[in-house]
Structures are given as structure tokens and as C-alpha cells.
Amino acid sequence: MRETLLQGVLRPPLTENPPADDDPELLALAATVKAAAERTLGRSLAIRHVDAGSCNACELEIHALSNAFYDLERFGFRFVASPRHADVLLVTGPVTLNMREALERTYAATPAPKWVVASGACAADGGVFAGSYAIAGGASTVVPVDLVIPGCPPSPATLLKGLLALMKGRAK
Amino acid sequence: MRARIGQSTLATPETWRAAARRLAEGEATLASLWGDEGGMRMAMTKVGEALHVLDFACDDGAFPSVAAIHAPAGRLERAACDLFGFAAIDAPDARRWLDHGRWPVRHPLGRRVAHDGAADPYAFLGAQGAGLHQIPVGPVHAGIIEPGHFRFHASGEAVVRLEERLGYVHKGVDSLTRGANVQRAAILAARVSGDSTVAYSVAFARAVEAALGIEAPTRAHGLRGLMAELERLANHFGDIGAICNDAAFSLMHAHCGVLRERTLRAAQAAFGHRLMMDAVAPGGVAVDLSAEGTEAIRTLVREIRSSFPGLVRLYDNTASLQDRTVATGVLSADLARRFGAGGVVGRASGRDFDARRDHPYPPYSDLGFKVPTRREGDVNARIWVRIDEVFESLDLIETILARLPRGPVRAALPSSGGPREGFALVEAFRGDVFAHVRLADNGAVARCHLRDASWFQWPLLEAVIEGNIVADFPLCNKSFNCSYSGCDL
């Protein structure tokens, strides 16, 4: 253990620079945000993830946000275990009819002010599963959505830009 | 019953039940049980023998329950009944599995009946005794994981019974693939379980290729092998770290997270997508490997070889961590064998099976590699099998790269020219994936059935947690790492 800890001290950090303020992908995402979270809550956002029917690829990339390269928490984001503690619901997957009520109840349990981010092609509009008898559709068919992050799945870099866009909103 | 296409045998009630008894007696392993047009189908494997498929025509809408004789068939049978509306005679569990009552239709793949979408009640199995209490968990869980419901009965801290209820992420993959062209069905197959997207794409592609009687080019086989081993590495790093994290040892999690990220970046550089989604296609692969991509994989292998052994030592030398993993969540060898538990779960309990070796397919048929096994069957054993498999995967990657021939990477698909079907068994990181693809005259997919390894692992998790404390459930669960989406479909 000492060996591992010592190396951690001696080696430079792996954490990468945040996206630039004028990053085109960041600006494009920010342009779709109506009310930036920072104005209301400052630089601290608690995120509750809800898998509403995903294939689990989106979850893998959301997990990656917490690794040493992206280090999501340095920006003031953190994942919380309960919707009661959350400011943001991060919804993945096409909303299955079997998950619809669970998503509605999770949304109802989240205190206002709250934001909903639909993450990935399925949460956007049902993706490749659209048209199935078992699908309600994208997240916006069940809960009001503030931001859609595209991708199948969205890469951690894109997810990070999306969350920063939600926090900061449109450039002044 | 539809026209039969060879390969499979038509069963009578007697031969169907006799086959179930052979499974129960361990003479063969259940590969899958699923519904098709007009009847039920059962696939069985035996090491060293070809796949055996038995068909039962449900002319009066019913078939003799396999689960009544061989319990591991239970959930597959319930799922097939939900989708096709067949009745399983003498079934031990008549409750619906995938159908929670929330769809606008019953039996979406069989005789469709409109339904009002009102949720069905679900009677959980009970447990009686003084001081027992229930703990309902999910479908929305505390972490970043998939949804499912766990109903615990606990006596103080000790779990007396766990019952799983899944089906929450049922997206209707079987219905969406029906009538789709091969390209569209391949995209859906790649999204049955995102963490195993390469394995699913290979399984689907091999079943299509078997149906059409073609073989992918040799270079494509090599590239599929590279992708499959990269996928195995990425998932094993993720799992080793996450299991340790569930024992509050986040140092291991952080370092394994770095290796996982490096693996995904190498995959992006080599195959254009971090998870390599849609990189495998029927007929071969959709992306060729460039010189830069080769170098990215070689660099990755060097990095893992230099840093992973230190992490293994860290795990091995941390007594407080082993205190949580050793002797926790023990899966008996007998249960692993009876359920045909694939992947790490089976191999950590002495079930020496790996589809890459035991039902060989290229590139593995030409490669020598060890299949690591353990006997203890606890969380620690499941970690060690993963660790040992990491080193095997590194060797495989190096060998495949060294032998990778030049040449085309994709064969054109001929027209089907009539009804055809094919089967495949492919080793994903969590165990064997079974695929059945039936093509119609016009080349469209008439039926696509994909069976995840988790079907036979989830029920074992219920057995494993018994007598353990509630706080060890995350450890046990993560050490299994079953797929929700892969079973809910």
C-alpha cells in the first residue's frame, strides 16, 4: 500500500484540463439551456442518475466521469444516492413502460429548483428502440427536460461539457 | 408450426421431457429456451459435441414445462410465455416475468391481446419467523447502476431470503428485430447489453454467417478477437475496482479506473469508438486496424503490464480488504454446474468452461490460452479469476497482433434465397452469449434470440447471499456483475 501511495505522490496528476469556455461543443449545448443552474445554486450541483431503460453503456461512461482523467467533482458536481438530495436528474435510456412510474416518482421526490438532463440518443427520443410496444419514448415524454446530451453513448468528455453547459448557461 | 430448417429435431412431449431430465442430470447444459413462431425451442450444449436444438410445436398453445424438471430454465420459460403467450404445463412458477402489466399488449410476439397497461400485482415469495423483516430495494438504486428490484427478508443483519424481480428495462428487442433487415438487427444486438457490445455483435454476426453459410475473412476474425479481449480487459478492470470500492477501498477503484480509461482510449484509437459499438458487423468488421491503432494497443498492453501487477500486490497484501472478500458470498460448485453458470461466476466455483476453448471459434480455435479457475467460489475467488484473465487477455492480444494477416476485413452477405437459420455461442466478459438468428426468404430477420450469461447467474446470486449480512450484498452483487438489460431485453 505504501508503494502505491508513494507513487501517487511522486507522479504528476492524470487529471486533464477542463474544456475551454469557447469550446464549440460546449457552446452548442449551452445555447439550448434556458435557465443556468449557477444563477440559482452557485457552483454546486448534486446529480441523481436514473436509468430508465438504458443498455448500460451510458452508465459506463457516466461512471468514467469520476475517474482520475475527468475528476467531475472538481467542478462542483457530485453524484448523490437519493433524489431528495438532488438538483439534477440525469436520465439515461428510452423510458420503458416498466420504468415510467419509477421515473415519475423519482422526479416528484426531487426538490425544486431541479433540472433534468436527458443523456444519450435513447433518452433524447427513444433512439434505436423508438416504436417498441414497451417504450414510452424519450425522457421528455415523461418529465420536463432541460438539456439533451447527444451520443450513443455520450463520451465522458461530452457529458462533462453538457453538465458545465447546464451550470453556466449561455455565454454572456 | 413454421417450415423446419434442418439442424433441429422436432420433439414429442416425451422426448421434450426426456431432454429436460438429461439437463437436470447434468448430461448436457441448457444453452437457451425461447419462443419462436408456433412453438418453443430448447438448445443444449455438451463439450466436444455440436449444439443440439429441440423444437416443440405448441399446437394447442401449451408445452410441458422445462422448469418443472430443470429449475435453471425457469426465468427463460416465464419470459417466453410473456412474449408468446404459450402456457407451460406444470410450471413451478406461473408469475409473469418481463411483463409487469404495463404494456398496451399481452404476448407481443404471439397472439396479441390488447391490455389497459394497469400494473399487475406481484406476489413475492415469503419467509416466516420471529423478528424477520423485509427490505425492498429498487428499481431505482443508490448508485449509477441499472434498475431492478431486490426483496430481502432479513433476520437482524443476516439475509434469510433474497428474491429478485427484473424486467424493468425491457425494451422489446425481440419484437424490434423481427422483420428488421440484418443491418438494423445488428445495431439492436449491439445494444442488448452495452458493456458486452462487442460480444453481442460477434454472436449476432456469427449466427447470421452460419445461416448464410459464409465465413468472415481471417483478418476480421483477428480484429474481432482484439476487440473482444479489449472489452474483457476494460470490464475486468472496472469490476475489480468496483468490488474493492464496495468494501470501501477506493484506492484500488481509482487505479483500476485509470486502467479502464486507458483501455477505452486505446479502443477509440484503434476502432473508432470507446466501447467499440457497431465495429463488428455481419460478414466481418466495419473498421480496419491502422498502424496507429496497432501502436495504441501495444502501448496499452505495455502500460498494463507495468502497472497492474502492483495493483494485484496491493489487493493481495491488504488484509482489511480480504477480510471482506474471503469466504463472502460462496457459490457452491454443484449449483454453478447445475445452472451452467458461465464466465467468472462459474469458473470461480470450479466450473471449467469457456466458450472460446470448449466450443471454439476463430480466432481462438488457433490460439492457446489458459482458462483460470478457482474452487472457493467466494468474492475473493471471483476477483482472482478476473485478475488471472487480465493476464491471459494481454497474452492473447499480443499473439493476435503478431499473427494478424493482411487482407479484406468484410465479406459481402449473399441473399438468403429461402428461410435459413444459424446459431452461435460466444464468450463475453461475463460468460457465454447464445445467439439464434432466423432469416426469411427476403433476407429480413424473422427471429433473433440473444441469451445473456446473466440468465443463469442472477438466480445464483439469490442463493449466494443467503446467510450473509445485508451489508455484504453490494460486494456479492458486484462480484457477479450480472446484466439487467441483457436479461430484460
Give me the mean pLDDT over the B213-241 stretch.
Answer: 97
* pLDDT level of residue B387 (50, 70, 90 thresholds): very high
Find the angle CA(A147)-CA(A149)-CA(A152) to the nearest 5 degrees. 150
| pLDDT at B19 (0 to 100) | 97
| A115-119/A88-92 β-pairing | parallel
Residues of A in contact with B170 (CB under 8 A): 53, 96, 98, 134
Using a pLDDT cut of 70, give the percent of chain B over it.
99
CB-CB contact of B172 with A127 (8 Å): no
Write the DSSP assignment of B160-190 as a string of letters: EEEEEE--TT---HHHHHTT--HHHHHHHHT
Residues B460-470 as b or e (16 or more Cβ within 10 Å = b): bbeebbeebeb
Phi, psi for residue A96 in degrees, rounded to 5: -80, 155
**Chain B: closest CA distance from residue A127 (Å):** 10
Write the DSSP assignment of B341-385 as a string of letters: --HHHHHTTT----HHHHS--TTGGG--------SS-SHHHHHHH
Q: How far apart are CA B448 and CA B425, in angstroms?
A: 14
Copy the grid coordinates of residue B151: 426483496
Copy the grid coordinates of residue B482: 450480472
Give the amino acid at B98: L
pLDDT digit string (tens) for B137-186?
A: 989 998 899 999 999 999 999 999 999 999 999 999 999 999 999 999 99
pLDDT digit string (tens) for A26-46?
A: 999 998 888 887 777 888 899
pLDDT digit string (tens) for B79-123?
A: 999 999 999 999 999 999 999 999 999 999 999 999 999 999 999
| pLDDT at A2 (0 to 100) | 81
| pLDDT at B424 (0 to 100) | 96
Partner residue opposite A56 with nearest CB, options B104, B251, B483: B483
pLDDT digit string (tens) for B321-372?
A: 999 999 999 999 999 999 999 999 999 999 999 999 999 999 999 999 999 9
| pLDDT at B418 (0 to 100) | 87
| pLDDT at B4 (0 to 100) | 44
Q: How far apart are CA B260 and CA B107, in angstroms?
A: 41
CB-CB contact of A162 with A119 (8 Å): yes
- Residue B20 CA, chain-centre distance (Å), reads 22
Mean pLDDT of chain A: 93
CB-CB contact of B94 with B68 (8 Å): no
Using a pLDDT cut of 90, give the percent of chain B over it.
93
Partner residue opposite B171 with nearest CB, options A50, A53, A60: A53
CB atoms within 10 A of CB B302: 11
Give me the mean pLDDT over the B214-222 stretch.
Answer: 97
Query: Residues A39, A42, A48, A52: what is their CA dihedral angle, to the nearest 10 degrees?
Result: 20
Q: Is A125 helix (H, G, I), strand (E, B) or coil?
A: helix
Return the axis-axis angle of helices B197-212 and B182-189, rounded to nearest 10°. 150
Residue B289 has pLDDT above 80, yes or no: yes
Return the axis-axis angle of helices B250-271 and A57-64, rounded to nearest 10°. 120
Residues of A in contact with B483 (CB under 8 A): 56
| pLDDT at A5 (0 to 100) | 84
Phi, psi for residue B209 in degrees, rounded to 5: -65, -35
Residues of B in contact with A135 (CB under 8 A): 171-172
Q: What are the DSSP E strand ranges found in A18-73?
A: 45-51
Partner residue opposite A54 with nearest CB, options B102, B169, B197: B169
* pLDDT level of residue B1 (50, 70, 90 thresholds): very low
**Chain A: closest CA distance from residue B483 (Å):** 8
| pLDDT at A170 (0 to 100) | 64
Query: Residues B413, B417, B418, B419: what is their CA dihedral angle, to the nearest 10 degrees?
Result: 0
| Those residues with Cβ within 8 angstroms of residue A91's Cβ, 6 or more apart along the chain or in another chain | A49, A50, A52, A103, A116, A117, A118, A119, A123, A139, A143, A145
Q: Give the H or E element holding residue A135.
A: strand A135-137
Q: How far apart are CA B257 and CA B262, in angstroms?
A: 9
Q: Write B120-123 long-range contacts (CB < 8 A, 24+).
A: B120/B96, B122/B95, B122/B165, B123/B95
Q: Is B54 helix (H, G, I), strand (E, B) or coil?
A: strand
**Chain B: closest CA distance from residue A47 (Å):** 10
Copy the grid coordinates of residue B366: 488457433
Q: Report the complex ipTM.
A: 0.94
Closest by CA position to B480, among listed B18, B204, B162: B162
Q: Give the H or E element holding residue B213.
A: none
Q: Give the H or E element holding residue B156.
A: none
Residue with cell 394497469: B118
Query: Residues B40, B46, B50, B54: what is their CA dihedral angle, to the nearest 10 degrees?
Result: -20
* pLDDT level of residue B401 (50, 70, 90 thresholds): very high
Residue with cell 431503460: A53
Q: Is B153 helix (H, G, I), strand (E, B) or coil?
A: strand
Cα dihedral sign, B258-B263-B269-B272: negative
| Cα-only R_g, chain A | 17
Q: What is the pTM of this model?
A: 0.96
Q: Is B195 on the interface with A (CB under 8 A)?
A: yes
Cα dihedral sign, B68-B49-B448-B343: positive
Q: How far apart are CA A106 and CA A108, in angstroms?
A: 5
Give the amino acid at A54: S
Q: Is A57 on the interface with B (CB under 8 A)?
A: yes
Q: Give, rounded to a whole angstrom, the gap between the first and last alpha carbons of chain B.
A: 25
The burial class, CB within 10 Å (0-12 / 13-18 / 19+), for B129 is exposed
Residues of A in contact with B321 (CB under 8 A): none
| pLDDT at A47 (0 to 100) | 96
The verdict on a CB contact (< 8 Å) between B171 and A129 is yes
| pLDDT at B49 (0 to 100) | 87
Residue B263 has pLDDT above 50, yes or no: yes
Cα dihedral sign, A79-A151-B200-B448: positive
